[in-house]
Amino acid sequence: MKNFKFSFCVVCTVIKYNLFAQTTPIQHGHAHNDYVHARPLFEALENGFTSIEIDVHLYNNELKVAHDAIGLSSKPNIQQLYLEPVKKIIEQNGGSVYKNNHTLVVFMIDFKTGGETYTKLKEILNNYRDIISVYQGDSVINEKAIRILISGNAPLNEILKEETSMATVDADISALDDVKIDKAVTRYSSAWEGYFRWLGTGAMPQAQKNKLLALVAKAHSKKKQIRFYHIPDKPNVWKTLLDAGVDWINTNKLKEFRKFWEQYNNITH
């Protein structure tokens, strides 16, 4: 009986890690606050997402995954919820997150605490060097299956001083003109309501669309990516952003966005 139970568990684990083996990745899908889903990481990957948001707090010398600093003692740490599972997935898929597809996946780690949070993250990532990309400035010099992007209380000055790093920074869109930080930044993100009033009904007003196009053009002229959060999370807005060239569509609706993307991609390609 014990052997049967053990074998059954092994089979369950194999099935668990291969649910999305044939999934085609979505180049522009950002899973906002991924950890709030019933199955963090797995639901995002089953639906083809290639950017996954992970909020962390430094608590008792661990990086606990949670949005708020409530009940952190019972929350899983980043290794348990993300790094160990994705490492197993990559090993099973021969070096990539998606089987037979070398599309990279970004873990956007949102620092909810400052201080030694980055020091702790570097300590943890050192144990996963076989799956984490290494940067020199904003250029990858050793590509692996996972790229790390830091948002929130990002240690911008510290990363700027490093010769090489395992992370780059997600900066505020208001900093697009600050050339001093270019070396550390690969993505710019801001709240939708800071720039736009359109809530997704009908066509986007032309003046607001012109502003959107200008922001996208500025980011792309610097070879950086751009994202807006707190967007009206619905297809009309997703389409407008993709048409404008926005790199990452911030969404909580993983399955719905997947279905939308399949239709959008068929029409535009």
Return phi, psi of residue 151, to 5°. Answer: -125, -175
Cα–Cα distance for residue pair 50/35, rounded to 1 Å:
15
Q: What is the pLDDT of residues 94-149, one digit of tens each?
A: 999 999 999 999 999 999 999 999 999 999 999 999 999 999 999 999 999 999 99
User: What pLDDT score does 267 carry?
Assistant: 83
Alpha helices in the chain (DSSP H): 2-18, 42-46, 78, 84-92, 117-125, 156-161, 206-221, 235-244, 254-268
User: What pLDDT score does 266 carry?
Assistant: 84
Q: What is the pLDDT of residues 14-69, one digit of tens each?
A: 445 554 556 899 989 999 999 999 999 999 999 999 999 999 999 999 999 999 99
Alpha helices in 49-178 (DSSP H): 78, 84-92, 117-125, 156-161
State yes or no: pLDDT of 233 exceeds 70.
yes
User: What pLDDT score does 23 carry?
Assistant: 83
Query: Strand, coil or helix: what is 102?
Result: coil
Other Cβ atoms within 10 Å of 247 Cβ, number? 20
What's 168's DSSP letter? Answer: E
Whole-model pTM: value is 0.91
Cα–Cα distance for residue pair 106/15, rounded to 1 Å:
24
The predicted model gives 72-101 an average pLDDT of 97
Cα–Cα distance for residue pair 50/23, rounded to 1 Å:
11
User: What pLDDT score does 157 carry?
Assistant: 94
Cα–Cα distance for residue pair 4/50, rounded to 1 Å:
37
Cα–Cα distance for residue pair 178/156, rounded to 1 Å:
12
